[in-house]
Amino acid sequence: MSRGDQSDRLAEAASAAKAAEARGDDPAAAREWRRYRLIEDASRDPEELLAEGIALSVTALALVEP
């Protein structure tokens, strides 16, 4: 995906999320913000995403330990 295409898709998702928020449609707003984050994450380094996921898993395990 090109940088311009990604920027356009991010802008579209943000606009849709803000419009849903303005309408009071929380489920649609949440869906559009989730789409925004997925588009944004698509350009991130896979190793960085993996490290972040591992760190979140470690934190989650620490929270459930007695």
Q: Could you give the 3-state DSSP secondary structure of residue 58?
A: helix
Please give the Cα distance from 22 to 34 (Å, whole number).
17
- Give mean pLDDT, residues 42-51: 94
Considering only CA atoms, give the Rg of the chain: 16
Reading phi first (left if > 0) and then psi (alpha if -120 to 50, else beta), residue 24 is in left
The domain spans of the chain are 3-64
Residue position matching structure tokens 């802008």: 11
35: number of Cβ within 10 Å: 17
3-43 confidence digits (pLDDT tens)? 778 899 999 999 999 999 999 999 999 999 999 999 999 98
